[in-house]
A = this chain, B = another copy of it.
């Protein structure tokens, strides 16, 4: 900018005023400056600007895994939304690790991001502290956190799983295996509650041998399913509380020589692009990923636009049970499944 100012024989203040439109500059100076900008190939240095202005027009986004299709989609939507608004987004993947998450959030705050969207991991205490003394707006995504009072957008997980399990019960299933992720994040807690309540509402017992825990990865789903399938009285259906784990479930079923839905019905949380292309077409709980991402972006953009003091807003969206053909009616002849699906 200094060079531009010299070339145009004006002060840097005038150049700045022209670029930002913060003051009117006379036609002849405008002309000279614009020419100088072109000649020199001047590009404004956003870092210097950020330092002075105290804003970077950059936000931080942390998710556990970008390869989980739910987060892939949400990240994509959020990125688009902020791109439209002229913001850059710094992406971090915490890999479900608490320390990694803390480091990354600190990294982001050091870089003076203007806001944060966090799909948190692990214990909320440290997150709370970080969020408290970071004086940037934070919106929690997918996973809320007791004690951290801030904007959030989550799914009605309990209801969604309740509906899914009820669907299985209505099909005649009585022993329904349930594979949960680690219990320290809210959705897993709520989903489990939905499972329990659905069973109870149907007067069925909640048997602990039917509930397995995993750490969100395919291999965890595989192991959990192996355990469920080797039970003396094995379940007739399995519900997996997240998407990567259900891949493990399907592989375990295959490896053990069973097939879905003939021998065992399967449903899971989170839809994915291939769900209705291949066989079996998995029955899933689809989250409104587009809405979730957009709402999260909107909440944050609203804060960034200056609405700092509004009380925390918590949006709860509804999941949708996508019924396909991976769950069969118990007792019904096999042909009935195909029927009900193609309908």
Contacts and interface: CB of A to CB of B under 8 A. Distances in A.
A115 to B, nearest CB: 15
Interface string A280-318: 100000000000000000000000000000000000000
A78 to B, nearest CB: 10
A232 interface: no
A247 B277 contact: yes
B88 A89 contact: no
A133 B41 contact: yes
A75 interface: yes
Given A247-B274, A254-B277, A44 B110 contact: yes
Interface stretch (A3-11, A50-58, A142-150, A327-335): A50-58
A26 interface: no
A55 B25 CA distance: 34
B67 A72 contact: yes
Interface stretch (A90-98, A117-125, A163-171, A193-201): A90-98
Contacts of A72: 66-67, 72
A: contact size bracket:
35 or more
A75 to B, nearest CB: 6
A118 to B, nearest CB: 15
A64 B108 CA distance: 24
Given A67-B72, A104-B83, A47 B89 contact: no
B83 A76 contact: no
B83 A88 contact: no
Interface in A11-67: 41, 43-48, 50-51, 56, 58, 65-67
A112 B251 CA distance: 46
B47 A56 contact: yes
A109 B88 CA distance: 11
A80 interface: yes
Contacts of A250: 277-278
Nearest to A248: B277
B278 A279 contact: yes
A48 B51 contact: yes
Contacts of A67: 72-73, 76, 273
Contact of A278 (B46, B111, B274): B274
B47 A111 contact: yes
A272 interface: yes
A111 B46 contact: yes
A338 B272 CA distance: 26
5 closest Cβ pairs, A-B complex: A278-B278, A279-B279, A46-B110, A91-B91, A250-B277
Given A66-B72, A247-B277, 13 more contacts: A45-B112, A47-B56, A66-B66, A67-B72, A67-B76, A67-B273, A80-B93, A80-B95, A83-B104, A89-B91, A90-B91, A251-B276, A279-B280
